[in-house]
Structure 1
Amino acid sequence: MLMMFQLCQVMVMISFSSSITLLASDQLHPGEDEALRQIGKTVNEDGQISLKFVDSCQQKGVVETELNSAPPNLEGNSTIGCNCSITDDNYCHITSFLLKDYSLPGRLPPELANLTYVKKIDFTRNYIYGTIPVEWASMKNLSSISLTANRLSGNIPGHLGSFTALTYLSLESNQFSGVVPPELGELVSLETLILSGNKLVGTLPEELAQIKNLTDFRVSDNNLNGTVPEFIGKWNQLRKLELYATGLQGPIPPAIFHLEKLSDLRIADMPGPEFQLPKKPIERKYLVLRNINLTGTIPENAWKVEKTLDLTFNKLVGEIPPNTIRRQFTFLSGNKLTGTVQDSFLQNSPNLDVSYNNFSRAPRCNSSNENNINWFRSSSSNNKLSDLLPCSEISRCPKYYRSFHINCGGQDVKNRRIWYEGDKGSESNAAARSYYRLRSNRGFSSTGDFMDDDNFYNDKYTLQSNSNLIDSGLYATARKTPLSITYYGYCLENGNYTVRLHFAEIEFTYEKLYNKVARRVFDIYIQGIQVQKVFNFTEEAKGSNRNFTIPFNTTVTDRTLEIRLYWAGKGTTVIPIRGNYGPIISAISVCYMFFFCLSFETYRLQGV
């Protein structure tokens, strides 16, 4: 019996820089053996990775993949499915081809077209360049293509319109440019189309209206123009729509709000005229309408959103209802809401941010101890310090300071002549968090959830470097936000100040090639003024584990200074997993005048 098993099992060694070696009689079709040999050469041009494929088609229905040799820390994820009864030719045939997270540096293999029974191709999180081979159009069984997080470039090829059996297509987080090809409208069976994270321009072609079965459409982080097309409101099967920082203009066509199956609607950072939400929107699980010039009051049915309600940075007015359903995340920061927040509402809000509003009464801080509530600047009174720190006992300044220095996400540390106070003592979950340090003059206000990471209580709000290439003090840690974080100093002397923001990329490190695909982009505000728009952190860093500093000049007139980092929908959201994005900052140094805490470095100052 053991001998029979050994004869049935075929071990195939593919060294991506050499040839295929057969260690037993072949069960796969001979043409597919040759295709595997050629695929290996194409996807790994530098030959640093060697995979061992074990043909377990008859036993397990897969060709198992083992790493034989690879760079350190590489852990790939592969599934090469096969079927031994799909034909009557006595051969097994490959039906799916997934090589994910391998950092493969080559090109997409045209030879995959020789695997004629393949239904699914997935090269997510590699380092593949070039474009999509036209040869794949001959694969009549192909229904799913995911090329997420690679470095594919050029125009999206029009020959994709020939892939008529496709139901799933993701080109997310690549470098495609040009317009969205109208030929995509010929993919009438398509259910998921993800084009986010590219450099696409022009308008969304009307031909896309022909895709009647679309359930998931995402085109965030592009450079499109024109208005949101009306035909999206006719996709009656749509369940998820994501339009973050697309370049499109508002307002949103009203028909979109009446799509009955649309349970996940996310639109953010879209310029355009002011408009109001319909009075009776369809109930949803997720509703994100952020920074899109919304006015008026919040409709009653919006309070029935089940999991995440995000209406931040609009111009909404009116009062919050006395009660709401229990919802994990409610973000209302940056509006003009008034009235009070009732205890019954707080009890059903595990993570609630009402910062930057105009509530008429101070919060009942002791009623929300079990939940994460951010009250920062949520109301206005005659005491500006109480507005800044509404749940503290500080109502007046014991003295006035001329500086503050923060080691973001870390412990107290001395860097050269300056002592930086850490904020690691705050809770790791900063979805709705206002933190200040006793006997100090600074704090932070943080809001936002890392959506799609399937983790309500994660620790991704702080980062810790594992590299010995970075300064073990100031740059070894960082604080991170999925939406917005404001660092502030209070009880400051009025006058002119120098603000230095310290950064280092300690998360997207280059031990894995696919991390080079990642882009971190955000906006920077100081004293409410946008001083950096679409700040390309990745380009400025010039690599991972390299620290850099950006200085600014600003003025304090009311004893307080605020520095805000805002994620405006740009940058990668799928590396190393989906739901990972947002600004990071390592440290902040604020000094009165230029000479007060001058370090040994020379800076080019930027005025605010």
Structure 2
Amino acid sequence: MESLRLICFLSLCLMPLAVTSQQEHTDLIEVAALRTIAKSWNIRIWNDSIDPCMKGSPWLDKDANPGIACRCSANTCHITKLKVYALDAVGQIPIELFNLTELRDLNLDQNVLSGPIPAEIGKLSKMEYLSLGINNLSSSVPPELGNLTLLKSLSFSANKVSGPIPRELGNLTSLEQLYIDSSGVMGDIPQELGKLKNLQILWASDNLFTGQLPEFFGTLLNLKDLRIQGTRLEGPIPRSFSALTKLQNLRIGDLTMVDSTLHFVENLTQLSILSLRNCRVTGTLPKQLGNFPDLIYLDLSFNKLTGPIPSSFQNFKSLQFLYLGSNNLSGDLPSNILTPSLTTLDVSFNQITGSLPVNYDKQRLSINLIGTSMDASYLKDSRATEEILSCLQTDSSCRSQDVALVDSSFSVNCGGAEQISASGIVFSDDSEVLEAASFYVDSQHQWLVSNTGLYISNPSGPKYIAETDSQILGTLDSELYKTARISPSSLRYYALGMKEGKYTVELHFAEIVLDDNSESWKGLGKRMFDVYIQGKRVLQDFNIQEEARGSKRAMIKSFEANVTDGIIDIHFFWAGRGTCCIPLQGTYGPLVSAIHVSQGNYAPNYDSSNGHKQTGTLIGVVVGCSAGLLILASVLYLWWKKDKMNHTWAQVDSPRKV
């Protein structure tokens, strides 16, 4: 009996040990790695008093962030997924992370991680999904990424890496998605990428590549989404692209040196988005495009296309946005081009003639036809006259009697209400709502603003004015900078009826959309655009934040312009550069706060027909003179005081310069 009791006692005592020995537990090396990662980034991934892979733990939920996933076998669990997404994690990637050798999914997107991508990443040979996008990672891309041959998706977009794309990425033959836009890679695109036959998505915009657009892209027959804009690649678009018949979204832009044609596009009938903007495309418009059943967005603007718009463009079933502006197209606009689905039509700056279709005012349509010879009598509210529209045509001028040359200054508060600056300049109201292809002529016919472009996939909808309630630093005119015109493509201002002579053009900027918080991924956005005055590029890859040394800080850029035809043309143009999607999709393109144009030594006479503007200028002269006398008095006072203050020097400058 005693023996039986002892056996029973031992059984009860040893039972917990047996249960414990059968419980699943996480590999201790991986537990230590998690602790190091959490400490390095100052985040709490899991409750470290509990085994990370304990079933039912909240951090194992598929939507948990931060979160992990585990796979268990023979009582040992390995971490297969690590997600630290948009948590503003700061620091470098610790080497210990690469002890998680069973990882299949690593998502570190949208943080502020810095330093290099360690070469040890090549140890994660089971990885299928690797996301490092929108961080501050630097140095070159390690060739060891080529060891991850099971990868299906790779992203290191929107970082600060440098150097070429490693040839070893050609080893990733299982890859279906590759996101390297705005990453910083440069140089030739390696031929080895032609081995990525399973690739479906390739985003490579906003990188300084060299050489021609690769012919071998035409062999990646599974591509559905290809985006290469703002790269400085040379044309032409290879005819081999005609084999990419699965393409649904094709965006190529800003090619240089060599012309292209549209022959390759005729078989790409599954396209829903086709943008070949600013690609030096020549020839005529293919009539086959009109039969593409799923095409929603077509942008062929800023090219060298000739000939008429095909009558087949009246057959579009799904097209909503049609951009053909800034080409050499001619002939009448097809009478039935306004299909039921069409909402936006841009034919500006072409030799297009004819009239707007009779159903123009019966459907909600934004249309831009400046710089054409079309009949403008259908336009509502008498916003424009045919004389103004025709004088903006290529090779035309505004020197006729229809547009009097009476002005020698022009000031506008871009996107905002009328403002009078601290120096007395009246900045005209420019709060009119513009659309995806539209223009507005002010009530006095003294200036015109034109916008073309669509923020595709913008969750905030089509907005072309930016606003802020924040105080703007570095200026006495904070209110002037609290609104701004923005555009996803082309924003153009024309001062009309300007007297001949030399002018000073002052462009006012303050970045009021992008943040500059260095401790958040939301502060990693980068806006870049070009500026042309009188057709000459005066700014390239202009970055407001960089120039002003921060967001919500005012700055002024000044240029000289010569007027011989009555017009000052100020063009803000997106050339595919800068980030696209920080902090939101569709955050890119030109932004301008205000414009002031004046002729040197201008002393106006009061004109009752233009009294408001002349009065504003006169106020500016009076206030400016008063300010000058005040500054002069201050200088004389400081000069008088300096002998009594050990020759102390005081810097004196105009208060509006920053």
TM-score bracket, shorter-length normalisation: 0.7 to 0.9
Contact 2:458 2:585 in 1 (8 A): yes
Does residue 298 of structure 2 align to residue 309 of structure 1?
yes
Cα distance between partner residues in 2 of 1:234 and 1:475: 49
Match of 2:373 among 374, 379, 382: 379
Question: SS of the counterpart of 2:330?
Answer: coil
Q: Match for residue 22 of structure 1?
A: none
How far residue 533 of structure 1 moved from its aligned partner, in angstroms, is 2.2
Specify the SS of the correspondent of 1:405.
strand
- Which string of whole-angstrom CA distances, capped at 9 and with x for unpartnered residues, describes residues 376-407 of structure 1? 213379965242689xxx99347732222111
**Separation of aligned partners in 1, 2:47 and 2:462:** 36
Partners of 2:54 and 2:227 in 1: CA distance = 39
**Cα separation, partners in 2 of 1:193 and 1:104, compared to 1, 3 Å:** same
Q: Which residue number corresponds to residue 444 of structure 1?
A: 449
Give CA-to-partner distance per residue, 1:15-56, whole Å, 9 cap, x none: xxxxxxxxxx99765544432221023235xxxx67776979
Greater displacement, 226-235 / 418-427? 418-427
Matched, 1:514 2:521: yes
- The question of whether the paired residues in 1 share the 8 Å contact of 2:60 and 2:69 is answered with yes
Paired letter, 2:509: F
Aligned CA distance change for structure 1 residues 286 and 594 (closer, same or farther; 3 Å): farther
What does residue 584 of structure 1 align with? 591
- 1:294 aligned to which of 281, 303, 308: 281
- 1:197–1:439: structure 2 CA closer, same or farther, 3 Å change rule? same
In 2, are the aligned partners of 1:79 and 1:96 still within 8 Å (CA)?
no
Summarize the Cα distance change of 1:61–1:104 in structure 2 as closer, same or farther, 3 Å threshold.
closer
Q: Could you tell me the percent identity over the aligned residues?
A: 34
2:187 counterpart letter in structure 1: G
Equivalent of 1:34 in 23, 27, 32: 32
Report the AA paired with residue 270 of structure 1. Answer: L
**AA in 2 matched with 1:135:** E
CA distance in 1, matches of 2:179, 2:489: 22
1:434 alignment partner, one of 435, 439, 444: 439
1:354 aligns to what?
347
What secondary structure does 2:38 align onto?
helix
Are 1:324 and 2:315 matched, yes or no?
A: yes
The equivalent residue for 2:188 is 203
Give the TM-score of the pair, scaled to structure 1: 0.84
Q: How many pairs were matched up?
A: 558
* Alignment partner, residue 138 of structure 1: 123
Question: Do the aligned partners of 1:315 and 1:336 also contact (CA within 8 Å) in 2?
Answer: yes
Distance, in Å, in 2 between the alignment partners of 1:375 and 1:60 is 61
Number of the residue aligned with 1:464: 467
Deviation at 1:236? 1.0
> Where do residues 71-470 of structure 1 align in structure 2 (5 Å cutoff)?
78-83=65-70, 86-90=71-75, 93-278=78-263, 280-283=266-269, 284-303=271-290, 304=292, 306-322=295-311, 323-325=314-316, 326-347=318-339, 348-364=341-357, 367-368=360-361, 370-379=364-373, 384-387=387-390, 396-397=402-403, 400-416=406-422, 417-427=424-434, 430-453=435-458, 457-459=461-463, 461-470=464-473
What is the alpha-carbon distance in structure 2 between the residues aligned to residue 228 and residue 466 of structure 1? 44
Structure with the larger helix share: 2
Determine whether 1:499 maps to 2:520: no
**Contact 2:510–2:554 (Cα < 8 Å) also in 1:** yes
Partner residue of 1:482 out of 480, 488, 493: 488
Bigger radius of gyration among the two: 2
Please list every run of 5 or more consecutive structure 1 residues that lacks an aligned counterpart in the other structure.
1-24, 67-76
Greater shift, 476-485 or 446-455, is seen at 446-455
**Distance verdict in 2 for CA 1:556–1:603, change over 3 Å:** farther
- SS of 1:247 mapped into structure 2: coil
Segment drifting more, 321-330 vs 370-379: 321-330
AA of the residue aligned to 2:354: R
Q: Is the 8 A contact 1:310 1:332 kept in 2?
A: yes
- Structure 2 CA distance for aligned equivalents of residues 65 and 506 of structure 1: 36
In the alignment, residue 354 of structure 1 is paired with which amino acid?
A: V
Q: CA deviation at 1:523?
A: 0.8
Matches within 5 A, 1:510-549: 510-511=516-517, 513-549=520-556
Distance 1:259 1:198, change over 3 A: same
Alpha carbons 1:213, 1:235 under 8 Å: kept: yes
What is the distance in 2 between the residues matched to 1:64 and 1:88? 20
What are the Cα deviations for residues 214-258 of structure 1, in whole angstroms up to 9, with x where unaligned?
111222222221212221111111111111122321111101133
Residue 13 of structure 1 corresponds to: none
TM-score (norm 2): 0.78
After TM superposition, give the deviation of residue 508 of structure 1 in Å: 1.5
Give the match's secondary structure for 2:336.
Answer: helix
- What displacement does 1:281 show? 3.4
Equivalent residue letter for 2:470: S
